Each structure stands twice: as C-alpha cells, then as structure tokens.
C-alpha cells in the first residue's frame, strides 16, 4: 500500500501550507493530468540557481569552467535519484498501473524528477529562502564531499593546453621501462617538451598513470623555470 | 573613449551599493583576471530561474515541454545579445586590446555574457527580489511577444507524430497545382492518410505552407471523425 505523504513531509522536515501541492509533486504523469511535470520544470531551475550560488560562495577562486563542472557533478539525474532513494521517495510516488508494474518507483528519471518537483512545490508554498535552505541542507553531504582538486583538469590535459596556448609543439611521452609481473607491473615514462632540454620521468601502475605523473612533474618544472 | 559605467547604471535603472561589482560585470576575460566569468555563471542560473518562474505563472496550462521551448526561445545568446545592444552595453565593456581591435564589443557571446554577469552582480548587490524584478522588466517586451500558439508544434509535425503514435503509415502530400506568376505563385497540395478515404487540400504561397495548411485541415478532419 502507498505510504501517507504526510509521513514523507515529516521525514523531509517539511510542513506544507498546501499539502495538495506536495501531493502533486509526488504524482507521475502516468497517474493523471494533474502531475508533477510543471513543478519539475520550476524546481529544476531553482536547484540550478541554489547550487550555483552555493558553489560561487564556497569556491571564490574557482573559474567559471570549474564551477560548471562542479555543478554538473552535483546536479544530474543519477545524483538526484541517489538522494531520492535515501529519502525513500519511491514509496510515496503516485504512478499509473503500468509504471507501477514495471517498477517505475525505482527508476532514476522518475525519482529525480519527483525530487525536483518537491523543490518547485516548496518554493511556491514557502518562498525562495526556505526552499534554498532546504536544498542546501539536502546537499550538505554532497557539497562537503566535493574536492576542487578532483575537478581540476588532469596534468596531461593541463600540459597539453599550456603548449597549445603558447603555440608550442605538444609534449612527447616515451615508455622507458616496464617491470614486474602481470597485474603488478610498473611503468616508467619520459615526458619531454620542446622548450626545455630537461626531461621528466613518471612512474605508475599503468602507462597512463605514469604519463600523468610525468606530466605533473613537467608542469612543476615549467613553473619553476619561469 | 570608453563610456562611464555610472551612465550605464542610470540607463539600466540600477544603483549599485558596490559600483566595483558592476564594473567587474562589464569586464571581459581578455581585460584581466578580475573579470565577469564567475558572475556570468551565477547570472545565467538566476536568469534561468526567473524566466522559468514567470512562464510557470503566465501559462498555467502549458506543459513542461512547452515551457522549456518558450524559455529556450527567450534565453539564448542571440536574444540576450539583442537586449544588450538595445542597452548599448558594448560601449561600456572593458576588453583587452586584441578583442577591442577585432570588435569584441559587437560579438553576441561577449554581449550576452556581460548581460548575464550584470544579473549576477545585481543579485549579489541587492538580493533576489530586486534582481528578479529587474530581469522581468528587461524581458517585458519579449514575454509579451510570446505566443503559446507559435510554440505548439506545426501541423505537419503534429500529424506525423499522431500517425507514428498509432503505428499508421505516414501522411502523404501531393502537389496538385501551381498557379500565378513567379513570386506570386499559389500552391495547392493534397494530404492523404491511410485511415481516411477523404483527402484534404491546402493552399499557400509556398509548397511548404500549402502542406501545413493541408495538414491542419487533416488534423481537424481526424478529430471530427473520432
């Protein structure tokens, strides 16, 4: 049996002035005409703003490109569905019989849309400030788990772009040695660039990792020799 | 000589508490590190929300798909650059010498980004309500010029999708006559579908228009014969 939406409100820490609006947010289009699609449109735009604003604050040094990548990593169907599952949203969704039978309450798109629709409904019910606070709280863990470092471009890409920007030849990577048994091999790679006589060597468990390591050292060397 | 940003503020009906923030919004990345890219990221998300919210209100009957199409028609580089040109934003932009020489102040992307950056700066300076009002005012004319009708799918597309949805053969269009002198020709086209014996004819100044006319009549005929 479908669970009572009031219990979901409690679980979400919400108290809608208009509980009907909350119910619409939980209604998939397969259930009827008065469904959550319009609320999802609204909620999606609110979520985009709230996360943009938060990232803008947390990372005063991050470029627009980094901010965009960070936001995309937080706001996507998979990550929203994950949040929706933690809140057991699926147990409260109103779905048509077809969707019910095919397990629609477990589908990423349906869960993610419903979560965005709740945001839209909350905004209509209680205004931007409350909605913003609720969304920020919902994303606390995900925001905390972000690392700016992990969203920097990898060293090989950085080095390549640096060379391109200065209209220099692209870096060259050569495998020097490969040692160890299968599954435990160590790769050693040499990286050279046309502007420096010195080469950098990197090591790693795969050729790619060794190249990244070499590129990172080369970036440092270039920085030091400026 | 570059015009004084204070004059632009007046023209825009704005009065920034922090005029420095307004200046950053006008600064292209070619001019220096303290440029408008981050503000543009923020402004873009605010604009998306403000227009979504407005459309949600104005068109209580529109589906999520229609709302998305309407928003995309309002919020895009071309339409923002058009607004920026009306405000003569280009005269106030801070550009690097390269961009200046190549006429960057006339480029759609640079104009559109600067306008979004102003929105971001305004939000930071004066909060969401003021920013929302300013954006809505800026878009008054564009919002007024929207027609829900014009964002419905055209009749040929509608008819085709209807046939596809019912797994029927696609409609057939045949040119019957073409009359009149060049540049003043009239086309007459016949549309048939496999489920109806009756055909519909449409007329128009181009073959395509005649086909749309015929498709529209066919849609009506199908509706009437249900």
The dihedral of CA B19, B24, B27, B30: what is its sign?
A: positive
Is B213 among the residues known to form the active site? no
Residue A18 has pLDDT above 90, yes or no: yes
- Do B131 and B162 lie in one domain? The reply is no
Considering the domain architecture, whether residues A121 and A56 belong to the same structural domain is answered as yes
Domain membership of residue B185 as a residue range = 155-225
Residues A66 and A178 in one domain: no
Q: Same domain for A96 and A121?
A: yes
* The predicted structure's pLDDT at residue B220: 85
Specify the CATH number for the domain of residue B163: 3.30.160.20
Cα three-residue angle A207-A147-B114, rounded to 5 degrees: 110
Q: Give contacts of B51 with chain A, Cβ < 8 Å.
A: 45
The interface residues of chain A toward chain B in range 93-152, judged by CB-CB distance below 8 A, are 128
Q: Answer whether A80's CB lies under 8 Å from A6's CB.
A: no
What is the number of domains present in chain A? 2
Strand order across the beta sheet in which B186-192 lies: B172-179, B186-192, B200-204
Residue A27: pLDDT band by 50, 70, 90 thresholds?
A: very high
Does A147 lie in the same domain as A165? Answer: no
Same domain, yes or no: B119 and B184 = no
C-alpha–C-alpha distance, residues A56 and A48, integer Å: 12
Last residue of a domain, one of A95, A130, A151: A151
Same-domain status, B30 and B132: yes
- CA angle at residue A191 from A186 to A195, to 5 degrees? 170
**The complex's ipTM?**
0.70
Type and span of the H or E element at B123: helix B108-138
Pairwise CB contact (< 8 Å): A38 & B46: no
Distance from the first to the final alpha carbon of chain B: 69
Which residues of chain A have a CB within 8 Å of the CB of B64? 37-38, 40-41
Question: Which of A119, A136, A151 is the last residue in one of the domains?
Answer: A151
pTM: 0.71
Regarding whether B17 and B43 lie in a shared domain, the answer is yes
pLDDT for B1 equals: 54
How many Cβ contacts (< 8 angstroms) between chains A and B?
53
Does residue A152 surpass a pLDDT of 70?
Answer: no
Closest CA to A211 of A168, A162, A166, A160: A160
pLDDT in tens, A83-116: 999 999 999 999 998 888 888 888 999 999 999 9
Q: Is the domain of A218 the same as that of A159?
A: yes
* pLDDT for res B157: 84
Angle value at C-alpha A135, between B74 and A29, nearest 5 degrees: 65
Supply the pLDDT for residue B57.
96
Instruction: Pick the catalytic residue from B116, B125, B213, B216.
Output: B116
**Residue B226 confidence (pLDDT):** 62
Q: Which of B162, B120, B172 is nearest to B16 (CA)?
A: B120
- What pLDDT does residue B125 have? 98
Residues on chain B touching A42 (C-beta within 8 angstroms) = 52-53, 56
Q: Tell me which chain B residues have a C-beta less than 8 angstroms from the C-beta of A135.
A: none
Q: What is the pLDDT of residue A69?
A: 84
Is residue B93 within 8 A of residue B114, CB to CB? The reply is: yes
Q: Is B73 found in the same domain as B18?
A: yes
Please give the residue that has the higher pLDDT: either A139 or A62: A139
3-state secondary structure of A114: helix
Residue in A38, A62, A128 closest to B56 by CB: A38
The last residue of one of the domains, among B151, B180, B205, is: B151
Clarify whether residues A208 and A137 are in a common domain.
no
Write out pLDDT tens, residues A158-214: 888 888 878 888 899 999 988 887 777 889 999 999 888 899 999 998 888 899 999
**pLDDT > 90? residue A153:** no
**pLDDT at residue A149 greater than cutoff 70:** no
Contact B22, B14 (CB under 8 A): yes
Q: What is the pLDDT of residue B143?
A: 92
pLDDT string in tens for chain B (226-residue length)? 568 999 999 999 999 999 999 999 999 999 988 999 999 999 999 999 999 999 999 999 888 988 998 898 899 999 999 999 999 999 999 999 888 888 888 899 999 999 999 999 999 999 999 999 999 999 999 998 887 655 667 788 888 888 887 888 889 999 998 888 777 788 999 999 988 889 999 999 888 889 999 999 998 888 777 6
Tell how far CA A156 is from the center of its chain. 22
Indicate if A200 and A134 belong to the same structural domain: no
Closest residue in A to B63 (Cα–Cα): A38
State the Cα–Cα distance between residues B155 and B137, nearest whole angstrom: 33
Question: Cα–Cα distance between B68 and B171 in angstroms, integer?
Answer: 28
């Amino acid at each position: 049996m479908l669970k009572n939406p009031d219990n979901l409100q409690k679980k979400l820490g919400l108290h809608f002035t208009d509980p009907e609006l909350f119910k619409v947010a939980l209604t998939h289009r397969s259930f009827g005409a008065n469904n959550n699609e319009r609320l999802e449109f609204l909620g999606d735009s609110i979520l985009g703003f709230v996360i943009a604003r938060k990232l803008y604050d947390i990372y005063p040094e991050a470029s627009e490109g980094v901010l965009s990548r960070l936001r995309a990593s937080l706001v996507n169907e998979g990550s929203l569905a994950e949040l929706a599952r933690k809140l057991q949203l699926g147990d409260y969704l109103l779905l048509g019989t077809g969707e019910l039978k095919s397990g629609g309450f477990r589908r990423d798109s349906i869960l993610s849309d419903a979560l965005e629709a709740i945001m839209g409904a909350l905004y209509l019910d209680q205004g931007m400030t409350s909605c913003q606070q609720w969304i920020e709280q919902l994303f606390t863990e995900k925001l905390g788990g972000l690392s700016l470092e992990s969203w920097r471009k990898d060293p090989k890409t950085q080095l390549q772009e640096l060379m391109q920007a200065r209209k220099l030849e692209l870096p060259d990577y050569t495998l020097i040695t490969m040692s160890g048994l299968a599954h435990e091999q160590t790769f050693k790679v040499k990286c050279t660039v046309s502007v420096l006589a010195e080469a950098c060597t990197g090591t790693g468990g795969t050729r790619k990792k060794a190249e990244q390591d070499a590129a990172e050292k080369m970036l440092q060397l270039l920085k030091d020799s400026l």
